[in-house]
Structure 1
Amino acid sequence: MPDTCDVAIIGGGVIGCAIAHRLGTEGRSVVLVEEGARLGLGASDAAMGGILTQTEPACLGPLSKVIKRSRDMYPGWLAELSGVSGLEVPLLEGGDIQVALDDAGMERLDTELLPRWKNSPFKVERLGPAEARELEPLLSEAVVGGFLLPDELALDPRELMSALAATLGRSGRVRVLTEARATAVTSGPRGARVYLASGDRVSADTVIVAAGHLSGTLLPALSEHLFPIRGVAYDARPPGVTGYALRHHVFAEFEENGVEYFPYLVPRHDGRVAVGVTYEENVGDPTVTEQALAEIRHGVAAMMPEAAAWPVGRTWAGLRPGSRDHMPLIGRVDGHRGVIVATGHSGLGVTLAPVTAELVSALVGGHIDDATRDLLEICRPDRDFSPRGAAEDVAVPR
């Protein structure tokens, strides 16, 4: 006999788990299907942990409304998870500092990004070189200025996933199936089904596909809009540091000899610093390469020389679920209205987890107010992905 439930969810990353928690607390029976040996082993395990409001260019277009809702939800959402799981998820609230390493870089920030930052619902503060180094003394003397984005947050994604997993484990409404690979999804007038490689199946009123960059294999009609983006990063530990090594997460973007560098440092509360990052579109192999690590170290050395010499711990690579316009796909995708997709977050999965769960909950429950309808319209999976249809201020993420 197949498993039966109100809602089946494919994908046990931060998006799938956030949705499962939300629906379970609303009283729905949920079966969460995860291919890995435990929850959160995919892109969520490889995330840097920034809760971004402006750093990614995709944040600055129509998606800013969705991000604003998620950012507003975050402190309360973490308190809810901690209250149920008993696990704290420390939140760094200093914001993000974006710096320029030369006059051309500062001009780019001033002319390309500052107008869009000012049009977003978030704050921005200009920094001179001395002001930037006063906030983060380890910044290079080459820094000519930058901007503080004070509304951005940061956390350790592994700690977030531990809290989510423990919360689901204590739920009487959510059943988690690990090492269970979904091979197909079907829907009809009497509901939807998930077929597993084991030969088993899960029958539900609604199936939610939150399988990251692999969602297109289950929903072929969307496959042309979805692709993996490999990101490589590593943990470093400054000698003798037991708390936050930095007070902010710090980012720069520059080009040298035809190579683009995106040094990004995200401090952890236990003294570690996540160091990255690379963006390799349409690369589906989650392998750490020496070339990627060398590019990261070169970028970090230019932005914060001392950090490039910190001892390296864990190295990793993850596959972000990219979409053609770098905005998530959230909505119903079948004629019987039994299948919902929630993927394509393009590096903003941690940022958008609370609001994604809220939007999917509204779709499942059918209670959609005007504000929610506006957010769903932005993320609708049948939108125009062509350059003409995409908003001109949505760009490839940095």
Structure 2
Amino acid sequence: MPETCDVVIIGGGVIGCAIAHRLAARGASVVLVDAGQRLGLGASDGAMGGILTQTEPSCLGPLSDVIKRSRDMYPGWLKEIHAASGVEVPVLDGGDIQVALDDAEMERLESTVLPQWKNSPFAVVRLTAADARDLEPLLSERVVGGFLLPEELALDPRVLMAALSGAVLSGRTPIRVLNAVYATGLRTGPAGVEVDLHDGRRVSAQTAVVAAGHLSGVFLPRHRAHLFPIKGVAYDVRPPGAVTYPLRHHVFAEIRQDGREYFPYLVPRYDGRVAVGVTYEENVGDVTVTAAAIEEIRRGVAALMPAAATWPIGRRWAGLRPGSADHMPILGHVDDHGRVVAATGHSGLGVTLAPVTAELVAALVTGTAGAKERELLAVCRPDRPFPPAPPAPDAVL
């Protein structure tokens, strides 16, 4: 006999767990199916932890209102997760500093990026080189200026997942978690859905939510061509003696030197570490950490914050962001019967958009979406036109 519930969710990362928690709070019974030995071992475990308002280019277009809703929700959402799990998630609220290391980059920021920042619903503060180094004294002497994006936040995604897992597994909600279980098929009809599991079991539900990251295309055939992995490599460092935030901001730069581009990004952690990244390889699906990727990151960091390039390296990792062809999430019904909801394609914004994604999907599933929710869902609607997805790097054209 199949296991039955109101909603079955495929994928137990930050998005799947956030949705499960929100649906359960509204009284829905949920079965959460995840392939990992524990929740959050996919893209969520490889995230950097920035809660971004402007840094990513995709933040600056139609998605900005969705991001604003999520950013506004974050403090209350974390309090709710804390109350449910007992796990507090420390948040760095100093903002993001994006700097230029030469006049050409400063001109690009001022002429191309700043107008987009000003059109977003978030603040931006111009910095001189002296201003930037006053905020973060370890910045390179090469810095010629930059901007503070004060509403960006940062957290440790592993701590966030510990809190979400605790909330989902607390036993105080109608959520059943199936770990180390692969969904192998999804069937939909007028009366509901059935999900086949690798061990021969089935889950029967009124609705299925597909939140399986870059693998969501397996269950979303109409969107398979629009979804792909984006590999990112990163590593941790720890300044000698650091026991709390070693920086007050997360720091980012785009650097062009020696005929190459570098995108160093430093995100301080509450326990003294700094997460350092990050590479960006579209349509690459392996999680091998290569020496070349580590060296690419180190070169960028050495240019941006020389001292950080000397700090001892700890954990090294690679993650696979769930990319979509236009770098915006796909949220909404995707089948003819209105029984399957996609919640994927967040690219590098899964942590950023977790609260609003949970809210929007829960409203959609329960039929309670108001005018504002419908407006935000329209931005991410699955039937929008998509550009072609990027080819794999080794594809033969």
**TM-score where L is the length of structure 1:** 0.96
Report whether the alignment pairs 1:4 with 2:4. yes
Aligned AA (1:270): D
**SS of corresponding position for 1:141:** coil
- For 2:12 and 2:369, the matched residues in 1 are separated by 25
- For 2:156 and 2:369, the matched residues in 1 are separated by 32
Shift of 1:367: 1.4
For residue 16 of structure 1, what is the aligned residue in structure 2? 16
Deviations 1:178-231 (A, max 9, x none): 011011111001100111111111000000000000000111211110000000
Structure 1 stretches of 4+ with a deviation exceeding 4 A read none
Identity %: 70
- 1:258-337 alignment, distance < 5 Å: 258-337=259-338
Aligned AA (2:47): A
- For 1:242 and 1:201, the matched residues in 2 are separated by 48
- 1:1-398 alignment, distance < 5 Å: 1-170=1-170, 171-386=172-387
Shift of 1:318: 0.2
Greater alpha carbon shift after TM alignment, 183-192 vs 299-308? 183-192
Unaligned 5+ segments in structure 1 are 391-398
Shift of 1:109: 0.5
- For 2:331 and 2:38, the matched residues in 1 are separated by 24
- For 1:326 and 1:258, the matched residues in 2 are separated by 26
- For 1:362 and 1:221, the matched residues in 2 are separated by 23
Greater alpha carbon shift after TM alignment, 157-166 vs 216-225? 216-225
**SS of corresponding position for 2:108:** helix
- For 1:355 and 1:219, the matched residues in 2 are separated by 22
- For 2:369 and 2:42, the matched residues in 1 are separated by 31
Alignment RMSD, CA only?
Answer: 1.0
Aligned AA (1:104): A
- For 2:347 and 2:46, the matched residues in 1 are separated by 13
**SS of corresponding position for 1:313:** strand
2:25/2:173 contact within 8 Å kept: no
- For 1:250 and 1:386, the matched residues in 2 are separated by 31
Deviations 1:239-298 (A, max 9, x none): 001110000000001222332211000000100000000100000001111111000000
Aligned AA (2:232): G
**SS of corresponding position for 1:278:** coil
Unaligned 5+ segments in structure 2 are 390-397
Aligned pairs, number: 388
**SS of corresponding position for 2:75:** helix
- For 1:118 and 1:25, the matched residues in 2 are separated by 37
**SS of corresponding position for 2:137:** coil
- For 2:32 and 2:288, the matched residues in 1 are separated by 27
Deviations 1:58-98 (A, max 9, x none): 00000000000000000000011111111110010000000
- For 1:259 and 1:87, the matched residues in 2 are separated by 42
- For 2:94 and 2:343, the matched residues in 1 are separated by 30
Aligned AA (1:118): K
Aligned AA (1:273): V
**SS of corresponding position for 1:232:** strand
- For 1:386 and 1:40, the matched residues in 2 are separated by 29
- For 2:369 and 2:361, the matched residues in 1 are separated by 10
- For 1:318 and 1:209, the matched residues in 2 are separated by 19
Aligned AA (2:150): P
For residue 393 of structure 2, what is the aligned residue in structure 1? none
- For 1:189 and 1:263, the matched residues in 2 are separated by 49
Shift of 1:172: 2.9
- For 1:169 and 1:371, the matched residues in 2 are separated by 31
- For 1:327 and 1:220, the matched residues in 2 are separated by 18
